[in-house]
Structure formats: C-alpha cells, structure tokens
Chain A
Amino acid sequence: MLIAKKLKANSINRMLKIENLQASIDNKSILNGLNLEVKAGEVHAIMGPNGAGKSTLANIIAGKEEYEVTNGTIELHGEDISELAPEERAHNGVFLSFQYPVEIPGVSVTNFIKTAINETRKAKGLEDMPAKDMLKMIREKSELLEIDRKFLSRSLNEGFSGGEKKRNEIFQMAMLEPKLAILDETDSGLDIDALRIVANGVNKLKSKDNAVIVITHYQRLLDYIVPDFVHVLYDGKIVKSGDASLALELEAKGYDWIKQELV
C-alpha cells in the first residue's frame, strides 16, 4: 500500500524520462543509448565537450525532424512523445531556448508571442487570450526580465545583440510558462550583466511544478542557476552524474580526466 502510493507520487512527479535513446543524422550516430530522468521542481545541468551531443539532445526532445531516433523512448508525464510533432510537444509544455534564435523579419516580438500563446490555447480548446490579460502578462514578464517596452515592437531577433536574443528567449519562456524548459547554451554570447538578468529570470520562473534542463559548457551560468544534478554527456551518452560540485570539478579539471576514466 505504502509502496504503491510512493510509486504513484513518483510518476506524477516525473516530468521527463529518456531511456536508451539512440539517434543519428545522415546515418551518423550522435546519441548512443542515453538515459535521463527529470522530476518536477528539479534543475539539471548537462555539460560536456563540443560535439558530445548536447544540442542534439535538446533538439530531439523538442522534436526536430532532421534527426532520426533509431531506438529508445522519450516520455513526458508518463506519455511517449517521440511521435509527436514539435508544436504538439510545445503544447504539452516543452520549451527550448535556442542557442541560435532565428530572425523573422516583420514579425514583432509581441505579435510572435501572441500567436504562440493563442495557438497553444487553440490546441487546448481554449479561446484566444483576451487582449487585456495578454497586455498585463507582457508587462509583468518584461519587467521581470528588465526588457524595454520598445524592444517588444521590434522584428523578432532581427538586429538583436547576442544578449537581447537570449533575453528574448527567456521572455518567451516566461510568457509560455512551460513545464519543461531546456536552455541550450543560454549563457553563450552574454556579458555578465545580461547573464545575471537572464539567470535571475529563470530562477524566478522556477517552481515545484516545472523543471529546467540547462545545457552549458561552463560553470559560470551554474553560479546563478544552481543545479540539483549535473550530468556529463560524452560520445552520445551520460557518462557521469553528480551534484553541483561536479560542475566545479569539471571547471577545474576539464573533461580529459573523464575521458581517461572511460578508457
């Protein structure tokens, strides 16, 4: 009885479960049996050297179609999402903060986020968000991320600095209130002030009901967004997991010692 209760609590708690994930692009294998479990309320950091498959993992969870998943499962809230279209995964609460956000000329930040929110609502059978509510939400979230109102009328990512692009990603995350947010090298291209603002924003958005996966090369971001778990991704697999101290160890010693451990 007690055990059954615990199991149930576990499965409610469990946000993401990836088992034995294998994936390739153009017949080149990139993920080689990856396992990862993320519970609501947790922050996971995924680190690793270049080419280890970090961004691939982020894109596959989000449903990018150029990757071929050859084996394994991706479960969100206990449901297999690996056959869902990217927009359906988004509707289910998956959010990816892109490493290189694309430009969409002529589409303002406001128009884009309005469309995203209303398309998500439509998928759930809800009416468009009333303009008044939308405005209120935009005000709150832009204040949270110290975003200038003028910024919202600019074309999406067009002519944005690296910092503005990343801040805009987190602004969208704030607006869409995802269950699972994956931040793909959100720290790259950020100066220290922007990094602090973005990290503070993420921290404020964190709750016991959502989870965050932070993909990064460096410890720097993890000074601000403190992870519950740190995983080392190498050669398409998670080869080592630990707590926040692992990130510090990696920062001090590099990745070579892990490679050697594996040999």
Chain B
Amino acid sequence: MKYTEDDLEKELETQEYKYGFYTDIESETFAKGLNEEVVIAISKKKNEPQWMTDWRLEAFRVWKKMEEPEWANVRYEKPKFQDIAYYSAPKEKPKLNSLDEVDPELLDTFKRLGISLDEQKKLANVAVDIVMDSVSVATTFKKTLGEKGIIFMPISEAIQEHPALVKKYLGTVVPTTDNFYAALNSAVFSDGSFCYIPKGVRCPMELSTYFRINEGGTGQFERTLVVADKGSFVSYLEGCTAPSRDENQLHAAVVELIAMDDAEIKYSTVQNWYPGNKEGKGGVYNFVTKRGICENNAKISWTQVETGSAVTWKYPSCILKGNNSVGEFYSIAVTNNHQQADTGTKMIHLGKNTKSTIISKGISAGHSQNSYRGLVQINSRAENARNFSQCDSLLMGNACGAHTFPYIEVKNKSAQIEHEATTSKIGEEQLFYCNQRGIDTEKAIALIVNGFSKEVLNKLPMEFAVEAQKLLEISLEGSVG
C-alpha cells in the first residue's frame, strides 16, 4: 500500500479539458496561407486607413526576413505558417445594443464558459469586451466609461474612431521589428482591445476581456493597447479559455501598455487555454509579447496565472524609463502532463530611483517542463535602481522539470539587486499530515499549491482571485477515485 511517485503522478493527471466543445456559429474564414495580398485583404476587410495597411505591410516584410526564435527551453513542432488561416470572423457581425440581440448559441457558449454577462455586469461591476474569434461581439458599459472620457473598445473600432490616438501609440512599446511573433502579429492582427484613460481619471471598474479561440485551424492574433494618461489609474483583466482541438493552434498576441507620468496600470491575466491531452497531443501555442513603458513616477504591475497552453513563451516586461517609476511582475505558472512553459519578465531600468519586484511561482507536475527566464537590466544612468526577485518552484512527481534562468546586467554601481530562488517538492510527509487531519490527497495538493502561490494570488483583483484558485485546483486535479 506504499504511496509511490507513480501513484502521485497518476493522481495528478488532468481531468479531460472542461471547456472542450465547439460551437458551430457560421464563420467566414480566409483561405490558408500568408502573403502580401492576405495582409492587404485583412486590412481591407477591416476598412482600415492606408497608414494602417502600410504599417501592416512593413511588419510583414520584416517578418519574412526573421527567423523563429530557438533560445527558449521548449521543444515543439514549428507551426506551418502557410497552413494557417489568418482571418476568421462570425459571418454576420452583429452590431448590438443589448445582450438580447446576441446569437442565443453564442450566449450559451458563454454560459458554458461560466461567463454570465448579466451577472458580471451586476455583481462584479465589470465591463466586458468579448473577443470571439477575433471580432468583438459585445461591448458593455461603454456609456458609463464614456462619461469619464474613458475609451474601451475593440482596436478595430478605435482605428476608425480614434485614428490619431492609435497611430500615435501603436507599436511604440513593441515595435513591429521587435521579434518574430510580434512582427507576425503586427502584420495580421485581427482585433483586440484599445483602452485610453484620460488625465487624472481613475477608471471606476475593472476592465475585462475574455478571449476565446473557436475556429479550428485559425490562429489568433490579438492586439491590445492600453494608454493611461498622466495621473490616471486602470486595472485591466484578461482571461481566456479555448475549446478542445487536436491540431495545434497558434496564438501570438501583443500587448502594449503606456503609463504616462504618475499613472498606474494593473494588468492581470488568467490563461487557461487547451493544454493538450495527457499524451501531449494538441494544445495551444502561446507566444505572446507583452510590454509596458513607465514615464516619471508611473507604475505598471503584471499579474499572471498561467495554467493552460501546450507551449508558453511569454515575458511581460516593464521599461522603467521615467524617474521613480515602478515595475512589478507576479506570476504563477502551472504545467502538467506534457505542457512546456518558458515564462518570466524583463525589467529594464533606465530612470533614476526606479524599482522593480519579481515574484515568480512555478508549479510542475506530470512530464511537464517549467522555466522561469528573467532579465533585470540596470542601465548606466539609472542611479539608485533597486530590484528584488524571488523565483520559487514546486515539483510534483519525478518526471517533471523546473528551471530558472535569471539574467542580471548592471551598468550602474549604485544598483541594489536581490535574487532569491527556492525549489521544493510536495512531500509524502506533507500529504500524510493533511490526510491525518481528514483532508484527502487531492484537496491536500490544492491546499499546498494555493499556499505556495499565495503571494501572487493576493495580487489579483477579488473577482479573479477566486477564479484563479479554482483554476489551480482544476489544472492539478487528478483522477482520484
């Protein structure tokens, strides 16, 4: 009756993907493949101005010359970029004023995802901009936000309605040439969100976007741009689920944050895309570029709970350009079965008295590989810069891996850098202790994992914290009889 590592592993096998379903809403999808004509067609489809088309084309030309990065600690079959359809939209894009007008089947889909718009609107005080296969279907709370001068809309609409704003900031934090996936995204992004908070305005509610990938074989290229003008504050939530698919789906999003003087942006993500099955077949490739820039006294906080995707490549970063600016990165990354994650952050200190904090919690189970990769760079003019980094790894079973790749570059002697790292394992002694108190093994694992992740969970907005805790449990839930 010995409780072996094998038993533990068996207990940790994921339950079949909870959100594995597929809606047959009629879609309009471009033929597979990518060339200049496709890029132009996407731009045309969206009725974009010429400058936007040119911007996309330039990105495409750069992308063609680039090579896919190989340095991450992940192994996967490279996507065949000519086998992907680069545009997919529900055929009749509904322009709706209320939820009653939404396709009932779509509403049902949201219900199955546990997203009740009505409930969220009433209870959570959340304005939700839902991205369904690249085209926004419903935008709520627009009016309330409008009164404060806050712009929160699909980026495709923002390009039409606020072209000057978009043109001014798009690509200023993540240039089209930044990296392979950012360039690809710039060329073909279909939609995403745009958010602008005017000077001195405190956004009265959490802004939220739910992303889903629905159409089989369709890549998802979201583009998000958040601009917080001087002295403003916004908390932005991003959460997602995706239906089961056998073929790998590519997701290459770009998120740009701009925090002007004295502004603060809090950006929280819960990522729960299809991780592939127990044998490691299928699952989403999540290759994301997220970066923010802080002007004087500004602050950007990235908080992420990453439990999904087959392969994750993601480094939400902060450029601390202004004096006294603050960057924070709080992350929980869970990998199970055959998932691979290479995630972390970059803190680029340019201004004086800049401060950054990195708290990373990696949890690996099954045959998964979980890497933290983080850069702390103190530039020569960044007097009195400070960084604190803490990277903790929790291992379950004997077949998984946890890796830490910290990079520290300091060009100013006044810098103070601290780095702490720990690796621990859920032990049989811990499990027996919990069992003896009447807590079964599955619940015990959830308890231990939640305890391990507590510092990061505490950083999430309330609405998300509960959801995130449940997600951690589901991700590690076993088939305990």
A interface residue numbers (CB < 8 A to B): 62-66, 68, 85-87, 89-91, 94-96, 98, 101-102, 104-107, 111-113, 115-117, 119-120, 123, 155, 172, 176
Q: Considering only CB atoms, which chain B residue lies closest to A100 in the complex?
A: B429
Distance in Å from the Cβ of A61 to the closest Cβ of chain B?
10
Let me know if B450 and A63 touch, CB within 8 A. no
Asked whether B440 is an interface residue with its Cβ less than 8 Å from the other chain, the reply is yes
Q: Is B403 an interface residue (CB 8 A)?
A: no
Majority secondary structure, B binding face: helix
In the bound complex, do residue B455 and residue A115 qualify as a contact, i.e. CB atoms below 8 Å apart?
A: no
- Beyond A65-B1, A65-B2, whether A106 also contacts B435 by CB under 8 A is no
The answer to whether the Cβ of B432 comes within 8 Å of any Cβ in the partner chain is yes
Closest to B448 in A: A104
Closest partner residue, chain B, to A68 (CB atom):
B1
CA distance A153 to B3 in the complex (A): 31
Contact B435 A104 (CB under 8 A): no
Which residues of A have CB within 8 Å of B432?
Answer: 62, 64-65, 86
Q: For B1, list chain A residues within 8 Å (CB).
A: 65, 68
* A65: B residues at CB distance < 8 A: 1-3, 432
User: Are B450 and A102 neighbours in the complex by a CB distance under 8 Å?
Assistant: no
Q: Count contacts between A and B, CB distance < 8 Å.
A: 84
CB within 8 Å for A119 and B440 given contacts A86-B432, A87-B435: yes
Q: Is the CB of A63 within 8 A of B448?
A: no
Among B435, B436, B439, B451, chain A packs the most CB atoms within 10 A around the CB of B436
When chains A and B are docked, how far (Å) is the Cα of A55 from the Cα of B220?
58
A13 to chain B, nearest CB (A): 25
- Contact A87 B438, beta carbon cutoff 8 Å: yes
Instruction: Assess whether B289 is interfacial by the CB under 8 Å rule.
Output: no
Interface residue? B428 (CB, 8 A): yes
Report chain A residues within 8 Å CB of B439: 87, 115-116, 119
Q: How large is the interface on B (under 10, 10 to 19, 20 to 34, 35 or more residues)?
A: 20 to 34
| Neighbouring B residues of A91 by C-beta, 8 Å | 438
Q: How close is B271's CB to chain A, nearest CB, in angstroms?
A: 22
Contact A123 B438 (CB under 8 A): yes
Interchain CB contact under 8 A, B436 and A86: yes
- How far does the alpha carbon of A15 sit from the alpha carbon of B89 in the complex, in Å? 69
B443 and chain A: residue at smallest CB distance: A119
User: Could you list 20 A-B pairs, sorted by A, with CB under 8 Å?
Assistant: A62-B432, A64-B432, A65-B1, A65-B2, A65-B3, A66-B428, A68-B1, A85-B435, A86-B432, A86-B436, A87-B441, A91-B438, A102-B430, A104-B430, A104-B447, A106-B451, A107-B451, A116-B437, A120-B438, A172-B437
Taking CB atoms, residues of chain A closer than 8 Å to B438 are 87, 90-91, 116-117, 119-120, 123, 176
Known: A68-B1, A102-B427. A107 touches B435 (CB 8 A): no
B454 on interface, CB distance cutoff 8 Å? yes
Q: How far is the CA of A230 from the CA of B153 in the complex (A)?
A: 77
Interface 0/1 of B364-389, CB less than 8 Å to A:
00000000000000000000000000
Select from chain B the residue with minimum beta-carbon distance to A101.
B433
The distance from the CB of B450 to the nearest CB of chain A, in whole angstroms, is 7
- Top-5 shortest CB links A-B: A106-B451, A107-B451, A86-B435, A116-B437, A106-B454
Q: With the chains together, A155 CA to B448 CA distance in Å?
A: 11
State the Cβ distance, A178 to closest chain B Cβ, in Å.
Answer: 10
User: How distant is B294 from chain A, measured CB to nearest CB, in Å?
Assistant: 30
**B105 to nearest A CB, angstroms?**
37
Min distance, Cβ A104 to any Cβ of chain B, angstroms: 6
**Is B343 engaged at the interface, CB distance under 8 Å to the other chain?**
no
Contact between chains at A155 and B440 (CB < 8 Å): no
| CB-based contact B448/A107 at 8 Å | yes
Q: Does chain A have a CB within 8 A of B353? A: no
| Cβ contact within 8 Å between A66 and B2 | yes
Most chain A CB inside 10 Å of its own CB: which residue of B2, B448, B453: B2
In the complex, the chain A residue whose C-beta lies closest to that of B432 is: A64
Chain B residue contacts of A95, Cβ below 8 A? 436
* Chain B positions within 8 Å of A68 at CB level: 1-2
Contact, CB under 8 Å: A106 / B452: yes
Quick one: closest B residue to A93, CB to CB? B438
Judging by beta carbons under 8 Å apart, are A102 and B3 in contact? no
User: Contacts A102-B430, A104-B430, A106-B450: A66 and B3 contacting too (C-beta < 8 A)?
Assistant: yes
Which residues on the B side are within 8 Å of A94 (C-beta)? 436
When chains A and B are docked, how far (Å) is the Cα of A116 from the Cα of B428? Answer: 18
The CA of A107 and the CA of B437, in the complex, are separated in Å by 14
Inter-chain contacts of A176 with B (CB < 8 A) = 437-438
Residues of B within 8 A of A104 (CB): 430, 433-434, 447-448, 451
* CB of B273 to closest CB in A, whole Å: 26
A91 to B438, CA, bound (A): 6
Identify A102's interface contact among B433, B447, B454, CB under 8 A: B433
Which of A90, A106, A113, A117 makes the CB contact (< 8 A) with B436? A90
| B450 / chain A contacts, CB cutoff of 8 Å | 106-107
Indicate which residue in B427, B433, B443 contacts A115 across the interface (CB closer than 8 Å). Answer: B443
Q: Give Cα distance in the complex from A172 to B435, angstroms.
A: 14
Whether A85 contacts B440 by the Cβ 8 Å rule is yes
Minimal Cβ-Cβ distance residue in B for A156: B451
Q: Which single residue of chain B is at the shortest CB-CB distance from A155?
A: B451
- Of chain B, the residue at the smallest CB distance from A121 is B438
Which B residues are CB-close (under 8 A) to A123?
438
Please report which residues of chain B, range 446-463, place their CB below 8 angstroms from some CB of chain A when the two chains form the complex: 447-448, 450-455
Q: Name the residue among B433, B436, B438, B443 with the largest chain A CB count within 10 angstroms.
A: B438
Question: Which of A87, A106, A113 is B455 in contact with, Cβ under 8 Å?
Answer: A106
The residue on A at minimum CB distance from B392 is: A105
The residues of B that contact A62 with a CB separation of less than 8 Å are 432, 436
Is A90 touching B447 in the complex (CB atoms < 8 A)? no
Could you say which residues of chain B place their CB within 8 Å of the CB of A112? 437, 447
Bound complex: CA A64 to CA B448 (Å) = 19
The minimal Cβ–Cβ distance linking A140 to chain B, given in whole angstroms, is 19
